[in-house]
A = this chain, B = another copy of it.
């Protein structure tokens, strides 16, 4: 598995298993000179921490980040930033049984097929805890992007069949600070209180039925200037698609109008350009901010479909390692829905993607190669 590194310039390499000594990440290629301390990271990690509501696992992990290298006198030095969270609440007994069988919807079977055996404790490397490294790296990327005037608004669009009705365009018209507060103050990270309540009712029913739910996460990135994204394979949307699809439970990804664009027509779907107050703008944003794989200056809008948590207490059919057909019901402390906790993971992967392509872009014009700062 040499697939543990993401990015070309601003690179993260994650390591660690659910029930090993810890989870970590090495961030390589972080520009020198960024003020950075552990609280910058911790506030991102807290958004994915378990145990914050009845809709997430009741495991208790403080997920306290430790920076091991790459910072001197409070600033990034340009050298690798190694960060780690020690695993704490590891009740291995919860997972004892799963050594012998394959949980439906999990990667148990595929890891065994791939490597010949697997670390079965808590999902091992395929555990959601692996995303801690992504979020820690994403927090740094987001801090740099913030200094460049780029902001992220990421939230839950739907839980099961319950969806907010506001469009991204309507959301962008709201007061961003109030909106962010509203999103982060409800357990489902929804930007609409009444929909959130309906979703909570739906989830409570799921839980009573020993079942689980999925949902859709939407992200809006503002402030990305036109010109970011590398044709023809490292397009902004292509790299974002990979970034988001590399998160465990993602089954779909779309930009702008996405699948709806397929049943639209050219006349409806094209966004007209116009000059407003001396600046080129687009009158609509069906494209979701990307044309030909390059940002066009409009907000970047995307959605990710998250499948229902596969760990459910209801009885399921499966096989054990000897190939025998058996029945199981999965107990332990599982999230009935992972969507809310995945919001910050999606945001982190998006931040890593955008920053990486911004740095890449710095090599794209002869006039950008400026050595005068060095001489």
A292 touches B106 (CB 8 A): yes
The 7 closest A-B pairs by CB, nearest first: A107-B292, A2-B29, A3-B230, A3-B234, A212-B266, A252-B254, A242-B242
Copies of this protein in the assembly total: 4
Q: Could you say which residues of chain B place their CB within 8 Å of the CB of A317? A: 272-274, 283
Closest Cβ of chain B to A3, distance in Å, is 3
Given contacts A111-B294, A115-B365, A211-B265, contact A241 B245 (CB under 8 A): yes
B364 touches A368 (CB 8 A): no
Q: Please pick, from B24, B259, B367, the residue contacting A68 in the complex, using a CB distance under 8 A.
A: B24
Interface size on A, residues (CB 8 A): 166
Q: Could you say which residues of chain B place their CB within 8 Å of the CB of A297? A: 113
Q: Could you say which residues of chain B place their CB within 8 Å of the CB of A375? A: 225-226
Known: A16-B80, A114-B361. 4 other contacts (CB 8 A): A21-B66, A34-B366, A113-B296, A214-B262
When C-beta atoms are compared, the residue in chain B nearest to A308 turns out to be: B266
A265 touches B366 (CB 8 A): no
User: Which of A4-12, A41-49, A56-64, A181-189 contacts its partner?
Assistant: A4-12
Most buried by B among A118, A243, A310, A369: A369
Q: Please pick, from B17, B34, B216, the residue contacting A79 in the complex, using a CB distance under 8 A.
A: B17
